[in-house]
Amino acid sequence: MGADAGFDMVPRLSQGVKDRMKWERFLEVVKQHYAGDGQVEVGSRVIYFKAGEWPSLPIEGHKFLRFSSKITGRIAAETGVENYIREVMSMAKAFFGGQIRPWTELCDEFGFYRWDFVHASIKSYESEVPTPEPIPITSVNNQGTDCDTNLYKVMTIPGRGRGLVATVDIPKGTRILCEKPLLKVESSMPEFVNRCVAEKLKLLSKDKQGGFLSLHNNFPGPYAFAGVVRTNALPCGPGSSVGGIYLTACFINHSCIPNAHNNWNEAAQYETIHATRDILVGEEILISYAAEGSSQTRQQRLRESFGFQCSCELCSQSPQVIQASDKRRADIQRLDETIGDPVAMMNSPQKSLAACHNLLQILDKEYAGAVIALLARLYYDAFQISVAHGDQARASVFAERSYMSRVECEGEDSPATQWVKSLMQNPTKHSTFNAYSTKWRTSKTARPRNLDADSFDKWLWRLSA
């Protein structure tokens, strides 16, 4: 057995230029520091430390999750692996600060990532399979006019006006776009919206005015500005009555099975678009304007609110396929309501947790796995059920999964991501900790360490209980 120690990179590095350069500089420092040290070998894919269990650093930083080894026992002592871990960690901290998370099992601390993920990451950089060219992440588009279009281009889509089309393969979780609104406007009577927009437009440059006027209007009539807003505005937060108009994000079309997620970052005052599944070059980037209800309900809502008939991948399927989807969406809604019921959560948490697990599987089927925004919420619900009955071990795992989903669909800078991250570190911070009972009481470190993924999931969802 023995104890492991090391550090994890949380969150992992992106393939963006900034992260790549930082990692390169870090590796340079490591190489210089260990030049002439016979135990450190620099390969074409990886830097090995022939000490302890041979911890390693990949040349490609986005693949890196953990640097660690057993630190107890004769081999660890003779090869001085603990020194290497300490030194490499202090160099890494100088570059990556709080992203470097140290842990040592001697103090009952454990790594952030599950071992199966870590092993998969190590396999990926120790294998000989060449990796695709890294894709840069777009920078914040403050002006709304000069987007980094490395990832997409604006094109005319037959029957749908303009849309965004991927110009490279975009991996799941990538930030495709980050854009400040051209203007924000409170929803109201068309006459009022029209006047309000006219006032705001006067303050903008000619270019930006032109950009606004070039946006599509599905509601012709006396209030053209209000029509543009109604056709194009993205809500500033779920259910918000304030909408933002963007010169690029507004071109993103709707799908009932989207491949991207839009989120308003209230703290930073910008809209982000993240890929919720791998998007292939040539595919249109699509978000959901309306996800709830049956196909008929959605069609009606899209017609009334945005002025178009949906003919997405789902809506153009056969009636049988649409019917099966309608049934799943009704189940999703029913389960969502069951999970949100505080009385059930208090009296029969086992059932509430089972409903979460059931919902997880239906979501996966309905959205073909590309459902990370709903997953983040689902895992947060499972967190709340666990923490309200004192189960810190499962609560911290659920918070961790919710956090990882949030990072993928909203980014590390989203306030919701930060909130769930703090709960992952300390579940007792939540106001409902022990609120219903302490019958499931566990400590945060009581999560099992040596289970395979299936057995771990059984433990997590209490399936064998």
Q: Considering beta carbons, is residue 241 or 333 the nearer one to Zn ion?
A: 333
Q: How far is the CB of 256 from Zn ion (least distance, A)?
A: 3
Burial class (CB in 10 A: 0-12, 13-18, 19+), 208: middle
- Interior angle at CA 383, CA 382 and CA 384, nearest 5: 90
SS3 at position 44: coil
Expressed in angstroms, the distance from the first to the final Cα of the chain is 28
Kindly tell me which of 236 and 312 has the beta carbon lying closer to Zn ion.
312
Return the number of the residue (130 or 319) whose C-beta is nearest Zn ion: 319
- Residue 60 or 326 with smaller CB distance to Zn ion: 326
Shortest approach of Zn ion to residue 327 CB, angstroms?
Answer: 16
**Is the CB of 306 or the CB of 419 nearer to Zn ion?**
306
By C-beta, is 65 or 312 nearer to Zn ion? 312
Q: How far apart are CA 236 and CA 223, in angstroms?
A: 22
Residue among 84 and 251 whose Cβ is closer to Zn ion:
251
* Residue 299 C-beta: closest distance to Zn ion, Å: 7
* Cα separation, 211 vs 195, whole angstroms: 18
Instruction: Summarize as ranges the residues that interact with Zn ion (CB under 5 A).
Output: 256, 310, 312, 315
Q: Which residues pair with 9 in a beta bridge?
A: 100
CB of 374 to Zn ion, least distance (A): 17
Q: Say if strands 4-9 and 100-104 run parallel, antiparallel, or are unpaired.
A: antiparallel
Q: Least distance (Å) from Zn ion to the CB of residue 231?
A: 17
Among 185, 241, 172, which residue's Cα sits nearest to residue 212? 185
Residue bearing tokens 């980094």? 148
CB of 302 to Zn ion, least distance (A): 8
Alpha carbon distance 29, 27 (integer Å): 5
- State in angstroms the smallest separation of the CB of 314 from Zn ion: 5
Give pairs for 115-118: CB < 8 Å, separation 24+: 115/449, 116/452, 116/453, 117/65, 118/65, 118/66
Q: Is 201 helix (H, G, I), strand (E, B) or coil?
A: helix
- Which two tokens mark 454? 């299936």
